Amino acid sequence: MCSIDSYSYHKPGLDEMASWLAMRMRSLGVDATIIEREEWGNDILSVVQGVGEGIVLLVGHTDTVYPVGTAAARPVRVEGDRLYGPGVSDMKGCLLSAIYAIEAMLALGYRSSFREIRLLCVSDEEITTRHCLDVMERASLGSHGALILEAARDNGDIVSARKGNARYTLSAHGRSAHAGVEPEKGRNAILELAHQILQFQSLNGWREGVTINPGFFTGGTMPNVVPDLAQVQFDIRYLHPQDRIDTEMQWRKIMQHQRVPGVELTLEVEPDFKGPMVSTVESLRMVRAVQDIAGLIGFSVNHVLTGGSSDGSYTSTFDIPTLDGLGPVGGLDHSPNEYLVISSVAPRTALLGGLIASIGTHSFA
């Protein structure tokens, strides 16, 4: 799979990934449906039928952050106990681990341990323009637990909670003028935005868990022109949905106190923001099941809250008990040194299979 360029905006590669996964699941006798997209990459939903009670949802993604050509430029290589390659941890190796877990359960006759295993692989996890949410919500219906197939942390931890994540764009509209001849006729959008950025950033940490990052800025045309337009994009992370709402309210109050007269300010939030993946009584019971199963296999597992977001934020919003980081151990995602720990694949695959059976038989409750 790592030899396929599956950049989020590269439909041919994403479609090839979906076709490969469908072929692999069908070879196990599993029903696999490719969800066709005209503009974006295809998604795929595979449903494993059992004769037990519980329905388990596994969620992964086929897209990566790497542009076309990366697979050829950086082929998979092995160094010691690490496998390196584009998407090997985030999350192609994790998708294979899930397939191996399903294959082992079928080979060992564990169909009585679940009613259904639904494996949903979407093609848009790495971008903010989401098209799969309706499919994800439908796949979540009736599920007793959602397991997100991101890699375990580099120390082996799983993820029991994630912060919410939203992106805002603050725009300043002023008036251009010659900076040397008649600057007084201009309304400097960059100058106003500079003041606003400092005030927005001052709310960093004003609530526990709230982090604010002004990460992308554009503005102006030439040094000798008073700029009439400037924009900055903010990333905000938060523990509770109300924290985002309250932070936005504070920002809008700040916007009422402008430093450059005549500059108009607008604030917009991207519509597909992710709410927090919250710990619940049910998800913490799943954590204890993970720890018990890991102990039987011969290792220990801790669980953590992280600021990074994933599709677990959506399944949690759908009121499905959710755990994340259930793939093999990996790290340095989105970098040339992205890796997967080879020796972690077998025990983590066994752990995933055991957790599927635990949810499928309701024994974690």
pLDDT bin (cut points 50, 70, 90) of residue 132 is very high
Q: Comparing C-alpha atoms, which of 144, 155, 157 is closest to residue 285?
A: 144
pLDDT at 85 over 90: yes
- CB atoms inside a 10 Å sphere around CB 179: 15
Distance CA(194)–CA(232), nearest Å, equals 9
Q: Name the residue ranges covered by the structural domains of the chain.
A: 11-163+276-360, 164-269
- The correct CATH number of 164-269 out of 3.30.70.360, 3.40.50.300, 3.10.129.10, 3.30.590.20 is 3.30.70.360
Reported as type and span, the H/E element at residue 98 is: helix 93-107
Q: Comparing C-alpha atoms, which of 231, 236, 239 is closest to residue 306?
A: 239
What pLDDT, on a 0 to 100 scale, did the predictor assign at position 51? 95
- For the entire predicted model, the pTM comes to 0.88
Which superfamily does CATH assign the domain made up of 11-163+276-360 to? Zn peptidases (3.40.630.10)
What is the mean predicted confidence (pLDDT) over 2-23?
97
Given this chain, do its domains 11-163+276-360 and 164-269 carry the same CATH topology?
Answer: no
pLDDT tens digits along 267-305 = 999 887 889 999 999 999 999 999 999 999 999 999 999
User: Angle at Cα 295 formed by Cα 350 and Cα 156, nearest 5°?
Assistant: 70
Note whether 232 and 214 are within 8 A (CB): yes
Reported as type and span, the H/E element at residue 313 is: helix 312-317
